[in-house]
Structure formats: C-alpha cells, structure tokens
A and B are shown apart, each in its own frame.
Chain A
C-alpha cells in the first residue's frame, strides 16, 4: 500500500449548458500534503472544489475519502466528512462575535449555545495552530487577516481534516502571508490535507508539495513542486505561447505636468470615521503613482473621493487649475477623470444589464448617446461592438447580461469604457484582483498604454509585484495617511515597503498618530 490518499477524485465531469467545466478530472490529496490547484479563471478550479465540498454533484466520476466512496448531496454532508473550505470572502456574520460564528452551523445540534465551552475550544485550537484571535470580539472589528484566521479556525472547529484555501493570500500583507504559511506548514505536519488555490506562482512554489494545473476543464498535469519552473507552469496554465512578459521601463517618457492635485484631503468612511486623513498627492501626465497598503487603510475612500463619489470634508482637489473639490462623479468623467473601481460587479458594472447598457453607464448623459429624452441605443450598440473588438472582450453577444461574462472579460469591459475616450486621469483600484494570467497582463498593458498616451494614473493595489512592475512612484498608505514615497521602486525596497505597510515610517515621515 502506497501513501494513504485522503481524497481521491476520479473522472470528474461536470457540464453546465453544454460547457464542460470539468472534463474527466482526476485529483487526489495525500495526508500531510499541500496540493496547489492552478489555472486561469474558468479553468474549472472552483467547479472542482465546489464538487468536493458538496455544492455541486458531478455528472460523472467518483469521490473517495480515505478509500471509501462518498456521495455528497449538500455541503452539510461534506462538512460532516471533514471537508472545509475557506472562501475568498470569508462568509462570516460581521455583527456576531467570533465564537458565535463558530457555533453557527456546528455539527452538534444543541438547543442552547455553550459560550464558555466554545470559547475554550477556540482558544485551544488557536494556541495549537498559531491562529491568534479573541473569541469574544465581534467579527466586524477584526482586520481582514484576523477574519481569515477565524474562517480557518471555524473549519478546524468543525473538525475538518481537509482544508481548501481559495486564494487565501490575496487580502494579506507580506507579513500576514508569512504567518499564514507557518500555520499551513504546521497543519501539514499534523496530517491535514490542504488544497491551495492561487494565481501567484511564487507562493505556490513556496508552500506546495504538488501542483495540479487545470486548463479549460481538463488536467494539464500534476507535478511535484520541486520539479517544475515558473515558466513551465505559466505555459501549462495558458497553453503554448501565452503570457509574454510586459516590457516595462523601455519607453519611459519623462513625467509631464501635474494635472490632478490633492491637498491635505480628509474623507470619512460609511461609518462616519475619518478614513483619509490629510492626504496630499500629485498625479502627473505620463506617470503612474502606485499606492501600496493593506486593504482597509483608506485606499477605497481615497479612490472614491478622487472619483467624485465621496465627500471631501477638508482640503482641496484640483484638476489642472480648476478646483474640483466638490465636483460630482459625472463632472469628473466629463473632465476625463476615469475610475476603475475595486468591486467590478458591485460598483463598476450592473451585472444584470447587458454589455451595451454597461457601456453606456458612464457616458449616457452626453451626446452621441443621449438624444433628447432618449438614449440612442443603436449608437451604443455600434460603440459596444467596436469596444468588444478592440479590447478583445469575449462575450456571446452585446445583449448578454454581463454577469454571464468571466471576471477578466468584465474587467476588460470596464477598461474599454473608462479608457477608450477622453482619458486624462485614471484611478485604478485593484485592477487585476482575481484575474487570470492573461487578463492580468492585458490590464497592465492597458494601464501602461494609458500612461504612454499622456494619462496620469493612480494605481492602488495590494499586489506588490504589480506595483513594482508598473509604478514610477510608489507611496504606502497606512491608517488614512501616506507613509512617504519611493521613486523608481524595485525589489530592493520590499522590506522598507513592508515596514511602511505595517505603519513604521521610513525617514521619519508620516507615522505620527494623530487622531481626533
């Protein structure tokens, strides 16, 4: 008998409306192993994992757990068999405390909830796996990293032996990521089986024992992590001749004149707390200013304020010489200040409306789209057709609801709408979040092209590699303040950036904590 297989999925096929999301997929997981699942969006990773955790039933194929064949009728069955998934969005109830979240959906159905017993078990588990968290604090007060720990703890609490981590690092600082990896390694030693879903090749190498690459619903290959190179993996993911490194820094034009200037602006968040606290920045033509930072440090509020969507309480905002401190979102668009929001489906698009209706979203109030009281849909459809072609947007048609499009194509649609005409300033927030390799490269190229065309770009991201690759200038945001700027940033600055992200200022700038 060879090594014991924790999970053995054989010949899994799942069809959605004639599209084979999984086509005869084999996947297994050994005791004490981290098995990475790589692939572009739509490659079938999430379908496969949804089958493993009972959300879907496969059309064909079998699942064996420790040699026994199982059939899951619902996620409950899978949880009962020790399979736990930690989603990108943690599916916690924010208004409840940590222990209450744990007690929710617990396998043991009791009429009463046992606070002290639950808390004791949580403390024991968190001590054992290095997942620090206070069982009594409400979830909404926790940072993203802490919430993730809660989500993992919840799976351990439910006695999971098999843990699926879906893009776990996308919301973490480098330091938090390191801590997560320590936990993962520790769990590995204790005999857990861990499935690690990611796009970030570097992390996949660091943490996994084996890597399975999926493409278009099929397994391209399963390889030991030690035996492959990043290039090989990238090629497996996108097929032959896909990626193409972006050339950066080759045709760097010198930065032009300042065009969008914020002076000491202060902005409050939805809860009424100061989220942006006296930020000053200058965007110049032909320049990309990157802003790094852990999410929730005021980046979202800053982006919204600059896009005219959030009230600027104090300070001034100028577009060239015009004061646009209180300009509306619409005025900003008319001036050429474009915004690529972080939340594609929640803000940037209307998922239930079709491609043309989404193309019209940010210019329908002007001719040629607006004609009197009506919208000239023929014109919008014509434009949409052109944009679909020039931005290579994959869609079954113009009158298809954009929720049917993949994440990459949704983002391309937003880029097409925002960048295709009258673009002077671009505020891009997490523009490649959750996108596959190809779409990520496409978005980055478009941002660079916008800069080459004279655009002033503000790039807010959590992906340091991306920021280093694209930015001419890099600032770090921490608790609503900018923690100093680095010119021509590269990998040698990573440690410094990491410290700044944790609130430790470089060169004595910024860090003073002034709160009212």
Chain B
C-alpha cells in the first residue's frame, strides 16, 4: 500500500538526497530523449561537461554566466525572504544597464574611478526605483507585486529597444541596434585573458553583505518576521509597509547593479539581446538555494555550467537550440518536482497480521 503523508520535519541530508535524485532522474529522462533523437546521450552529456567545466575556457565561461545569475538571484532572494514576490529582476537588470549606459553617454569622464562609481550608483538607483515603485504600490494599495513587477519587465525591455534602435544607436554599427562600445574608463577589468570580470566580486560582496544583514542584523530579522507572519510583525511593532518598499528598492538595486556589471564587464555596449532571462532563472535559483546567499552562488554556478554546456552541445553536436532548452527544462522540472518530497513522505507498507 502506498501512503502519502505530510512531513513535519526534514533533515539537511534528506534535502540533499532529494536534490541529487532529482538531477539524476532529469539526466536519465534527458538521455531517453536524446536517444530517441538518435544521439548518444552519454556522449552529449560528456560534451556538456567538457564544454562547461573541463578546461580553463569552459570554467571561465561558466563563471561569466554565474555573475549575472548570482546577482539576480541574490536580488530576488532578498525579496523572497520577506515573502515579497519580486518577479521583476529581469526588468530591474535592464534598467540598471540602461542607466549606466546613459551615464557613459551623457556624463563621460576620463577618470575610471569616477566613471565606474557613478555607473554603479546610477544603475543601482535605476533598478532600485524600478523595484520600489512596485513595492510602493503594494505597501500603499496592496497591489499584487507579482503582476506589477512582471509588467514592468516589459516596460523596461521596450525602453531598452527604444534607445538602442533609436537615438543611442551607434552610427558606425552598419544599422545594427547597439550603442557604441564603452570607452576604456567605463569598463570593469577582465581577468586572465578570459571573460570573467570584476563583477564576480560584486556578486561575492553582495552575498556577504546580505548574509550579514539578513541573518545577523536587526533589519534582516524584521523582514524575516514580516515575511513569515505579518500579524506577528504588527505585534512586534514592525513597520511592514515601509520595509516592503525598502526591500523592493534594495532587491531592484542589486539587480540593477548586475545590469551594470554585465555592461561594463562583459558586453561593453548596450544591445537588445543581452537580457536572456537571467532575472527569471534567478527565481528558480533563489528557491533551490533556500534563499541562502552563499548557496545561491553555488547554485548559480551550476546553472551557469548548464547554460555553457548547452551552448557547447549546440556547437559540437549540431543539436538545435531547443534540445538544450528541453534538457534545461527537464532538470528544472525534476528539481521542482522534488519539492513535493520535501513536504510529503511516501512510504510503501505491507499489511501485517
């Protein structure tokens, strides 16, 4: 007889076991799909691993993807800590990129320090206000933040297109929608002749700060209480409305900063395709990492490897892009399916007499 029962408690070991089992199951069913397509699945997986983690180039590419993923995940993770559903990291990321590009365009100076610091500030503020607006609507009129943050993503992306197809387009780009390349002083350094850039430190520093503030700080305690039990927050005299706005501001600011790092560190020019859904993948990463800042970094690295490995599959095995997306989807599907086993226990019993 199969019994399904609600769990009261789950140990760390069981949790890890569930995650590992989910990944293995995903790879197995992915193997089935690849086999049906006439591809040797083990070869394909080997290719993914090889492309993403086996050599210096692969690892550096994975790290380059880890940076925006980690920062967007830290951003949404902060909001989720207060049970505020910021689905708008994508838009805040774009707004950060837009703001720092605007700064490069209109307030250019030769001094790298002045330039980079003001780009950091501009992008954080832009992302921050993009988030805080949704936070304000929630705090003031209880407008559902899932809807507003999602809608504001489209506004941000359309704004981006307006500028790159319009007044910001590089006259020498032969008509491609992109701004001119950033001048030297507006670039973050890249390391070891790879695409890994100083944004990695942004991610690590933000993770550290969040860990300290949320786990040790007074304010972090307040937002955790507000998130877990809003009525207990009233009882403790916590001003939840103000904290919602603040959390959304900071969450947006981190995502905005990620946009700046992506511009100044990697692309070095604004173009429409740079936002490839990091802000959405971030939701899954933050959730899988249980909102823990350091775990988020590791999970982001895993997802970075998935992205890079997928690209390698495309190039080396000539598989269509959609194959890779299906594989990634399967992994997510099983990981999220594993959530069920976190809250429920299933056991087989045999009737005793």
Contacts and interface: CB of A to CB of B under 8 A. Distances in A.
B218 A329 contact: no
B218 A17 contact: no
Interface in B219-242: 219, 221, 224-225, 228-229, 231-232, 234-237
A350 B228 contact: yes
A280 B219 CA distance: 38
B232 A349 contact: yes
B229 A374 contact: no
B9 A57 contact: no
B232 A361 contact: yes
A352 interface: yes
A499 to B, nearest CB: 34
A347 B9 contact: no
Interface residues of B, number: 23
A34 to B, nearest CB: 30
A307 B352 CA distance: 56
B318 interface: no
Interface stretch (A145-153, A175-183, A188-196, A362-370): A362-370
B219 A329 contact: no
A354 to B, nearest CB: 11
Interface string B198-235: 00000000000000010011110100110011011011
A375 B9 contact: no
B12 interface: no
A125 B327 CA distance: 58
Contacts of A16: 8
Nearest to A329: B237
A341 B218 contact: no
Nearest to B226: A350
Given A57-B3, A350-B225, A361 B236 contact: yes
B9 A364 contact: no
B184 interface: no
B5 interface: yes
Contact of B235 (A60, A331, A348, A404): A348
B229 A364 contact: no
A330 B217 CA distance: 19
B218 A361 contact: no
Interface string A319-341: 00000000011110100000101
A176 B229 CA distance: 33
A278 B228 CA distance: 35
A375 B218 contact: yes
Contact of A17 (B9, B234, B235, B236): B9
Interface in A403-454: 404
Q: Which of B5, B224, B229 has its CB near the most chain A CB atoms (within 10 A)?
A: B229
Contacts of A17: 8-9
A377 B237 contact: no
A204 to B, nearest CB: 30
A230 interface: no
A364 B231 contact: no
A329 B5 contact: no
Interface in B64-79: none
Interface in A154-207: none
Contact of A309 (B3, B228, B234): B234
Contact of A364 (B3, B8, B218, B352): B218
Given A347-B231, A404-B8, A404-B9, A333 B237 contact: yes
A357 interface: yes
Contacts of A362: 235-236
Contacts of B349: 57, 59
B221 A375 contact: yes
A421 B107 CA distance: 58
B237 A328 contact: yes
Contact of A373 (B8, B218, B236): B218
Nearest to B224: A353
Contacts of B228: 350-353
Nearest to A361: B236
A339 B235 contact: yes
B221 A329 contact: no
B218 A370 contact: yes
A377 B229 contact: no
Contacts of B216: 374-375, 377
Given A360-B221, A364-B218, A341 B8 contact: no
Contacts of A333: 237
B9 A373 contact: no
Nearest to B2: A73
Contacts of B1: 57, 71, 73
A56 interface: yes
A346 interface: yes
Contacts of A404: 8-9
A61 to B, nearest CB: 10
Contact of A348 (B217, B219, B232, B352): B232
B250 to A, nearest CB: 14
Given A360-B221, A361-B232, 19 more contacts: A17-B8, A56-B5, A57-B3, A59-B349, A73-B1, A309-B234, A328-B237, A329-B235, A339-B235, A346-B232, A347-B229, A350-B228, A352-B229, A357-B224, A362-B235, A362-B236, A373-B218, A374-B217, A375-B218
Closest 3 A/B residue pairs (Cβ): A330-B237, A329-B237, A350-B229
Interface of B: 1, 3, 5, 8-9, 213, 216-219, 221, 224-225, 228-229, 231-232, 234-237, 349, 352
26 contacts: A56-B5, A59-B349, A60-B352, A307-B235, A309-B234, A329-B235, A329-B236, A330-B236, A331-B237, A339-B235, A341-B235, A346-B229, A347-B232, A347-B234, A349-B232, A351-B229, A353-B224, A353-B228, A360-B221, A361-B225, A365-B237, A370-B218, A373-B217, A373-B218, A373-B219, A404-B8
